[in-house]
């Protein structure tokens, strides 16, 4: 992971904190420590602080850290206020540079929603995010925060607009088995594997009948009803 390249891509992000006042830590320091913590499987803001303190000497080799390591409350306040779309775009720009060096296409890109551990407190509900990550490397390509878990379906097309999946295979669980999502994936020049469960009973039954027919007859069968209900 090239820290200098990460700093360059994050350097243009707008600081969401007040313009005047006692701002003790540079935005770039907070973002880089937070990102490094997540890459090392950190799960919350406390982990970000602990990561920084454990590796302070190393971090000082490329960060200013004029007032030491930020505490967990500082990480929380900054990441609550920073523009998630702008942050995702900046990180995706860095990842695209990495991807161009390795070649493109052929990856397995998983999309899923999750609740951030430790994000719930007396002031707000738990944060939900929709993430896209590469199965082979475990690298997250992008994330979008959503207010409620039920908003994940509408967030997936927006997330796909932020990342490059051309030539990849996008996988999503049954939540993402939607016509608009399948259409968006094809627009982004990728293939998809969507899980199908009883949340769409008509389509599920059509697919079950289709594969039962293949098993009995040994050959595929074209069904107008199935074609009408298939997602994309």
Tell me which of 8-22, 96-110, 154-168 is least confident. Answer: 96-110
List the chain domain ranges. 3-81, 105-194, 197-232
The CATH number assigned to the domain with range 105-194 reads 3.30.420.10
Are the C-beta atoms of 194 and 182 separated by less than 8 Å?
A: yes
129-138: which pairs have CB atoms within 8 A and are 24 or more residues apart?
130/155, 130/156, 130/159, 132/159, 132/160, 132/163, 132/165, 133/109, 134/107, 134/108, 134/109, 134/110, 135/107, 135/108, 135/109, 135/110, 136/107, 136/108
Reported in sequence order, the residue ranges of the chain that DSSP labels E, i.e. its strands, are 108-115, 128-134, 140-146, 169-172, 191-194
- The percentage of residues in the chain with a pLDDT greater than 90, rounded to a whole number, is 34
Select the more confidently predicted residue: 49 or 219. 49
Q: Report whether pLDDT(225) > 60.
A: no
Which DSSP helix (H) or strand (E) runs through 82? Answer: none
Rounded distance between C-alpha atoms, residue 115 and residue 144, angstroms: 12
pLDDT at residue 222 in the model: 56
Q: Report whether pLDDT(19) > 50.
A: yes
Q: In 10 A of CB 73, how many CB atoms?
A: 11
Q: Is the pTM of this model over 0.75?
A: no
Say how far residue 222 (Cα) sits from the centre of its chain. Answer: 37
Which residues does residue 127 pair with via DSSP β-bridges, in sequence order? Answer: none
Give residue-wise pLDDT tens across range 67-122: 999 999 999 999 989 988 888 788 777 766 666 655 556 889 999 887 766 656 66
């Amino acid at each position: 992971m090239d820290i200098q390249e990460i700093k360059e891509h994050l350097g243009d992000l707008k600081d969401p904190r007040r313009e005047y006042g006692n701002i003790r830590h540079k935005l770039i320091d907070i973002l880089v420590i937070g990102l490094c913590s997540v890459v090392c499987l950190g799960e919350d803001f406390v982990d970000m602080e602990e990561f920084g303190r454990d590796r302070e000497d190393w971090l000082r080799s490329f960060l200013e850290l004029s007032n030491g390591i930020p505490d967990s409350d500082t990480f929380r306040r900054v990441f609550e206020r920073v523009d998630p779309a702008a942050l995702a775009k900046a990180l995706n720009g860095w990842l695209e540079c990495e991807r161009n060096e390795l070649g493109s296409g052929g990856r397995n890109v998983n999309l899923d929603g999750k609740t951030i551990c430790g994000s719930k407190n007396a002031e707000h509900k738990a944060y939900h995010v929709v993430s896209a990550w590469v199965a082979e490397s475990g690298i997250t390509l992008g994330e979008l925060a959503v207010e409620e878990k039920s908003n994940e379906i509408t967030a997936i097309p927006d997330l796909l607009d932020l990342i490059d999946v051309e030539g990849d295979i996008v996988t999503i669980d049954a939540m993402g088995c939607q016509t608009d999502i399948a259409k968006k994936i094809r627009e982004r020049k990728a293939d998809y594997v969507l899980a199908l469960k009883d949340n769409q009973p008509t389509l599920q039954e059509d697919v079950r009948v289709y594969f039962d027919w293949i098993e009995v007859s040994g050959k595929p069968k074209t069904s107008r009803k199935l074609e009408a209900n298939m997602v994309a």
